[in-house]
Amino acid sequence: MDLEKLRETAAEVVAREDVKYLLGWKSGTFGYRVAPGFVEDTAGAAELIFSPLCTANLATYLTLVEKLPVPRGQEPDQRKVAVMVKGCDSRAVTQLLVEKGIDRDDLIIIGCPCPGMVDPALLAEKYPETEEPAVVKWSENGFLLAQNGRETNLARDEFLAVKCQLCRYPNPVVSDIMLGEPVEAWELAEDKGVTEVEGKDADERWDFWVEQFSKCVRCYSCRNVCPLCYCEDCVLDRLNPTWVNRSVNISENTAFNIARAFHLAGRCIECGECERVCPANIPLGRLNRKLAREVRDKYGFEPGVDPEAEPFQASYKPDDPEDFIL
C-alpha cells in the first residue's frame, strides 16, 4: 500500500466535520509492537502505517470505546468513526452490523487489501525483539525485516500467521474507501491445528483440552480483545446468578472457555486475536475454527460476509417446524 496515499486520505477524512476520529495503526514503541492510533488531525494521520505487523483487529474498539456510557451531563458525540480494516477486520465490522451492535451510518470504513501478516511471536522467537521499533515490509517472496541497521529476508511460509495461511477473505468485504488494489487470494493451507485434534479419540481430545484449559489464568484478555464479545452485561461476570465461578481451577476454566466458544459459534470471524493475546498460549483458534467449520458445513452459514444476513443464533422464524423438539 502507498503510505502517502493512506496518510493523505486519512487527513482528508479526519478534516471532515462529521468525523470524530479515525482508528488506524501506528508504530509501537519497541520491537514488533504496533499500536492502535486514534487519529484526530493531520499530524496524527502522518503517523499511520500499514505493514505486516498490523495484525490487531481495530474493530474491537468500535464497541470497546464507543459503547462506554456517556458521563452524566454530557451529550453523546454523534459524529462518525472512521476505521481501517483488513479483510478479517471487515468481517468483524460486518458481523457487528448484522447483530446491530453498531450502526452503518456511524462508520466510515477504510478498506486495506491485505497480503497477509507475520506472526509476531514466531518472528520474536527467531529474531528477538529489540528496544528499537522494527520495520517489516512485504517483499516479493515474503517479508523484509529492518532492525538495528540490518535487513533480513523472511520466507513467507515460515512467518505467515496461521490465520492468514487459512484466510479466505484478504480483501475487505465492506468499505467506503478502498486503499490500493485487491490482492489475489492464495492457496489455503491445511488447518493442521484442527486436524490434529480431530484425529484424537474422544478421551484424548478431552485430555488435550483439559491440559490446555488448566493453563488459563482467567485474565479475560481473549474476551476483551474479541470484536464480537461486546455484551455490556457478560454472563461470565454475573454474580447473581453465578453461571461460572471466578475461581481459577480446571472445572471453572473449562466452563468459561467452552461457554465463550459457544457464544461465538456462528459469530466468530476467525481474526485470531483471542489466541494472539492469550498469555498462557492456549490454542483458542483451534476451538473457534472447528466451531466455525461445523457451522459452515452443517448450516451453510458464514458470519461477517453479508451485511444483510440474519444473525445465525438469533433469528426467529414463526414457521420453523422445530421438529427436533418433539
Q: Which residues bind ligand SF4 (CB under 6 A)?
A: 86-88, 114, 116-117, 163-164, 167, 170, 216-222, 225-228, 257, 264, 268-274, 278-280, 282, 284, 288
In the complex with ligand SF4, the residue whose CB is nearer, 38 or 220, is 220
Q: How far is the CB of 99 from ligand SF4 (least distance, A)?
A: 12
What's the closest the beta carbon of residue 244 comes to ligand SF4, in angstroms? Answer: 11
Q: Min. distance of Cβ 74 from ligand SF4 in angstroms?
A: 31
**DSSP-derived 3-state class of residue 295:** helix
Phi, psi at 140, each rounded to 5°: -60, -40
Amino acid at residue number 77? D
- The smaller minimum CB distance to ligand SF4, of residues 14 and 216, is found at 216
Cβ 115 to ligand SF4, closest distance in Å?
A: 7
Which string of DSSP letters, residue by residue, matches 132-197?
SBPEEEEETTEEEEEETTEEEEEEHHHHB-HHHHT-S--S-SS-SEE-SPPPPP-PPPP-HHHHHH
CB atoms within 10 A of CB 282: 22
Smallest gap from residue 110 Cβ to ligand SF4 (A): 14
- Angle among Cα 216, 34, 50 to the nearest 5 degrees reads 130
For residues 101 and 108, what is the distance between their CA atoms, to the nearest angstrom? 16
Q: Which is nearer to ligand SF4, 14 or 25 (CB)?
A: 25
Is the Cβ of residue 6 or residue 11 nearer to ligand SF4 in the bound state?
A: 6
10 vs 222, which CB is nearer to ligand SF4?
Answer: 222
Q: Are 59 and 67 in contact (CB under 8 A)?
A: no
